Chain A
Amino acid sequence: MLAVTITIPDLVTFVLAAAIVLVAAIGVVVSRSPVHAALCLVATLFGIAVLFVEQNAEFLAAVQVIVYAGAIVVLFLFVIMLLGVDREEAIGKDPLRAQRPLGVLLGLLVLAEVLVLSRLSWPIGQPHVAGPVGGPSSNVADLARAVFTTYLLPFEITSALLLIATVGAVVLARRPPRSAGQPGAATGQPGRATGQPGGAIGQPGGATGRPALDGASQPDAADETGTVRSPEREGAPR
């Protein structure tokens, strides 16, 4: 009786989107290269967006594609390309032998737990606290009314969160300033003090050894001098 109400286009859309979501999610997990994982993540997010559209959440589907596939995955790819970590990972052997089967077992336990819990019945609160889905007005209008009336305070807190995240990202990505109090300057950096142009810049952790990045540190040092000198150049005429 339930199957009668399902129309063929709905069924085809759902099955295709669900298959894309699950296969691409498995691709994220098993792919060796982080770039391939990021591309599989894009496929997963598009499949989720299709499932959103199928449930009358058009605005969220658009936001999903724009924010997730357009911004977050691009950010991932930026970091992958920037750090040069797109080399493949030795996925065959695991240092801890028991971790992989244990991880799969725990994941399947989570799945079983969710499926068991879904059989129970839960008391839910009062429905229609924020308006029905699929009413006479459009999805965007419904969602906007909910966000800007019922959830106005969380919405405002969200703006503070975004500001804090922006400041945090800038602070984290900034190169440490050269100052005498830096731990890296105190431990001494023999490789940089022997005539490299960027030797005076305190970079903590330089003495802990970066064996694989030695070849890449030459343009890095040149870049540091450029970025450090530029404010002096700009500040001189003023």
Chain B
Amino acid sequence: MSIPGSWFLVVAAMLFTVGAIGLLVRRNVLVMFMCVELMLNAVNLTFVTFARMLHDVGGQAAVFFVLVVAAAEVVVGLGIIVAIFRRRAGATADDLHMLKG
């Protein structure tokens, strides 16, 4: 109750930045996926912080839905990654240039 909400927001912004940089910089598909999870968690933290600051539990309900969507996204994304790895050995996103003209 006593920590001001802006501190949490700053932490969430920094966490989102770290995730975004990782998504842009890394080449491994799995690590890029983990960076997406980092960004989702940063947004979750923001939701919870605003739920506390605005005295509205709807923010926490939003986090609940984000969790479910993240779980579904991970399942489908990892399925796609497994299907890609079954076809080719390359581990990096650079190897996936099938759509290049």
B-contacting residues of A (Cβ < 8 Å)? 2, 5-7, 10-11, 14, 18, 21-22, 25-26, 28-29, 31, 34, 37-38, 41, 44-45, 48, 51-52, 54-57, 59-60, 63-64, 67-68, 71-72, 75-76, 79-80, 82-83, 85, 87, 89, 94-95, 99-100, 102-104, 106-108, 110-111, 114-115, 118, 124, 127-134, 139, 142-143, 145-147, 150-151, 154-155, 158, 161-162, 164-166, 168-169, 171-173, 204-205, 208, 210-213
A75 CA to B71 CA, complexed, in Å: 10
A110 touching B37, Cβ below 8 Å: no
Q: Kindly state the separation between the CA atoms of A60 and B81 in the bound complex, as whole angstroms.
A: 29
| Contact indicator A172/B80 (Cβ below 8 Å) | yes
Within 8 Å CB of B24, what residues of A? 99, 102-104, 106-107
From A124, A162, A205, contact of B68 by CB (8 A): A162
Set of chain B residues within 8 Å of A64, measured between Cβ atoms:
44, 67
Extra 16 A-B pairs, beta carbons < 8 Å, given A37-B30, A172-B79: A6-B3, A22-B11, A29-B21, A29-B25, A31-B31, A37-B31, A41-B37, A63-B67, A72-B37, A72-B74, A79-B82, A89-B91, A111-B17, A127-B54, A150-B61, A165-B72
CB-based contact A57/B2 at 8 Å:
no
Chain A residues whose CB sits within 8 angstroms of the CB of B75 once the complex forms: 75, 165-166, 168-169
A94 contacts which chain B residues (CB < 8 A)? 27
Chain B residues with Cβ below 8 Å from A208 are 87-88
Chain A residues with CB under 8 Å of B80's CB are 172
27 pairs from A and B in contact (CB 8 Å cutoff): A7-B2, A11-B3, A22-B11, A25-B19, A29-B19, A29-B31, A37-B30, A44-B15, A52-B48, A55-B48, A63-B64, A76-B30, A89-B28, A99-B24, A102-B24, A110-B16, A111-B14, A133-B60, A142-B57, A143-B57, A151-B58, A154-B65, A161-B69, A169-B76, A173-B79, A205-B87, A210-B87
Interface of chain B residues 51 through 95 with chain A (CB within 8 A)? 51-52, 54-61, 63-65, 67-76, 78-83, 85-89, 91-92, 94
Interface range for B? 35 or more
